[in-house]
Structure 1
């Protein structure tokens, strides 16, 4: 229940901020272009609060917090007194109408820059880009536990989050990418990560795992959390034991236990398992027992489960001074915009599943709640990405979106006269159908990704 309330709260707060800035962009430019604004509303439906300003504009907060609108004086939407015709939106030159419509998405882009600036100034804590384990493609490329990833391609990776974000596009495109690393001995080397060898279809949400990389902070220590009754470890091992060696072979983490247990079971007989318990080092005798998995696979087990430890502390920070943060914020906005356009292109060409591309309110709510729980800088980062997405998606040439209106005005510039009412009406129906389809897909993805899984 706590997560549900928190998710709803941060969804409403986030949408409120993004929509307010977007609509204020339209409002601010409209007023300066001489257009009379009748209503500035955050949300749709019945107003929960309304106040008429000295300028004659109605300011409202409505019941459905999934958007907003700026209603301007317009002859196409009602009678306009002769004395106010010069303040009607439809009477303004096409360049002014373009400026008013484009102002909303531009406001979101500027907000994105401001939010990234704030994130950099505050400093976003993260995990160091240190490899905890390498298997499959990562191991074949030469990555090893203890390597610090300095760059993926041309993008520097000061944190593990940057490593993930840099590797994902290359993985989706199945493109080999150079990776610059520093070994735990201080030596630098550049490796070629052959992502072209990835399967044609893989779990895009776990691309790093499919590559075979795991971060140092995700390594599970070899600490016993639970011993199952009537198993090989029952009466031998205890909760809190840290396993240091099995049959004389060192154990670095939990992943090293399984293979050694299988080897012990295959050779038969008792073996020594070394543990640290309450500050003492003990050597205990143990003999694995054979068990059958649900799929019928036979394997040797001890009957132990790992300790469920607390989340490790962040050990890296991405932070800049107020002046350094300005170009960094613009660069980050430009980079994320390129990645967003690229992701849209992948969705249209089938390189990435739309199930993982179009997010609905449930996914957004859970993400904002999770990011907010990690601190102000993390929340600013996801708010910046949402603002960027809102700005760019609104520029798509879909009727009823800002981009659709801009398309009409560009056509008007070319042909010298406005698009006919019939064409605009047809476009509205097409736009509504497309938006309804996108919303349906978003809700479907929410159900599949959050409720089914």
Structure 2
């Protein structure tokens, strides 16, 4: 049942993203006077098919794993004299550019709309307060101490843990100074410290920028009380259920959830004797963690359970509220920042600063889709927005067969006054197919390993 739900939410997300993307091409093509023959979403058995007054056929197929907008185009066969004025190839190079850009643009607009709706309901975040500093780390050498609130990195405000995390991600693979702005309390004056980076975390397979910089953020003590048990997991097979309190593992007391997590991670496929308290009774059971290959290439243990969320001090919870205009402006900024982060990550992956092990494919997308849906509609919509931005960015890359490749050809045509020869365009498309298939293969390989 979990697999069915995951597949459903994955296909739903893809259907929405592909429909918006192709609608962008469709809408601008019609606005430019191009005759659209077919607007199709999906492959396989056709579920719906109809035509509008302008003769465009709309098709919805069973598997929404792609889509296309078929226009009248002299490159794809002979065109009647009646349809020639409305052919894609008869439009100006600027109109053709607009049609090509419209697909990715629609993905960005969708992300902005989703973020706008989410921001209208207000958001919350956890204030980043340092719990401890890793010895000999960049943070320790800079002078950062436990209890400091990280206010900014390199002058960029970090009001929440999520913002701190994304700001540090931007510095991966870089060298030079990094500045920390911190304070001890809301009323205290900010303090400035600086550290030094040298190809920071370049090529790391485990991208944890907080740990990489040497910061372990404060978390309230979380007792090892089970919140949810995944069906057919080692936890379920051991008879554990929601609400159980884990007392000890191999006769070693479990003081909090993190100690239990570390104990499990270090014992893949090894039997663990557990003492458990359920309501007013205690019992013993044995659990054998699954052996999972982590991103670092090491095998770790996993038992398939989650913990009850800790209670955070009110002073550490940051709440944000927006009126409609403020929410729209913030959603544009958020989409821009996310786009810049994804584009920066692509660049760093190409030059080797970020390992290709972090290139994910359809299996990972499916897992995240299903997991985000479990957390509620807001998390699922946020996932769709992020995926929509990723789709927009990837399609704008100057790789033939992608929208960005077509755009590159049209820019060359605009500059030189004539299109590239058919031979060069065909060579580019073959190279583009090779690159896309290669990247998809790497992504699928990473999915299978994880």
Sort the TM-score into its range (normalised by shorter chain). Answer: 0.7 to 0.9
The equivalent residue for 1:55 is 54
How far apart are the structure 1 equivalents of 2:224 and 2:197?
Answer: 31
CA deviation after TM superposition for structure 1 residue 336, in Å: 2.1
Q: What is residue 73 of structure 1 aligned with on the other side?
A: 72
Q: 1:183 to 1:364 in 2, by over 3 A?
A: same
The aligned runs of 1:425-444 (5 Å cut-off) are 425-444=426-445
| Equivalent position to 1:189, from 164, 188, 191 | 191
In the alignment, which residue of structure 1 is the partner of 2:298? none
Gaps of 5+ in 1: 244-252, 259-277, 279-306
Output the CA distance in 2 between the equivalents of 1:197 and 1:398. Answer: 28
| Structure 1 segment 1-16 matched on structure 2, within 5 A | 1-2=1-2, 4-16=3-15
How much has 1:193 moved relative to structure 2? 4.2
Q: Distance in 1 between matches of 2:422 and 2:186?
A: 71
Check if 1:388 corresponds to 2:386: no
Q: Tell me, which stretches of 5 or more residues in structure 2 are unaligned?
A: 226-244, 263-278, 280-304
Q: CA RMSD in A?
A: 3.0
Per the TM alignment, residue 381 of structure 1 is displaced from its structure 2 partner at its CA by: 3.0
Given that 1:395 and 1:402 are in contact with CA atoms closer than 8 Å, whether structure 2 keeps it comes out as: yes
**Structure number with larger C-alpha Rg:** 1
* Residue 320 to residue 196, structure 1, CA distance change in 2 (3 Å): farther
Count of aligned positions: 381
CA contact (8 A) 1:118 1:377 kept: no
Offset of residue 367 of structure 1: 2.2
Residue 38 of structure 2 contacts residue 71 of structure 2 at CA under 8 Å; is this kept in 1? yes
Looking at structure 2, the residues matched to 12 and 70 of structure 1 have their Cα atoms a distance apart, in angstroms, of: 20
In structure 1, the partner of 2:179 is: 178
Deviations 1:289-332 (A, max 9, x none): xxxxxxxxxxxxxxxxxx98412257443442211122222222
Secondary structure of 2:219's counterpart equals helix
Aligned residue in 2 for 1:343: 345
Over 3 Å counting, the alpha-carbon distance change for 1:172 and 1:423 in structure 2 is closer
- How far apart in 2 are the matches of 1:9 and 1:313? 33
Who is 2:356 aligned against? Answer: 354
| Cα distance change on mapping 1:312 and 1:5 into 2, 3 Å | farther
Change in CA separation of 1:184 and 1:446 when aligned onto 2, cut-off 3 Å: same
Whether the 8 Å CA contact 2:73–2:79 is kept in 1: the answer is: yes
Quick one: distance in 1 between partners of 2:24 and 2:93?
18
More displaced 10-residue stretch of structure 1: 309-318 or 112-121: 309-318
Partner of 1:40: 39
Partners of 1:50 and 1:59 within 8 A in 2: yes
| Aligned partner of residue 324 in structure 2, secondary structure | coil
Normalised TM-score (structure 1): 0.75
What displacement does 1:70 show? Answer: 0.4
Preserved contact between residue 204 and residue 355 of structure 2 (Cα < 8 Å): no
- Residue of structure 2 aligned with 1:213, choices 206, 212, 215: 215
Compared with structure 1, are the counterparts of its residues 319 and 217 closer, same or farther at alpha carbon in structure 2 (3 Å cutoff)? farther
d(CA) in 2 for partners of 1:144 and 1:375?
A: 37
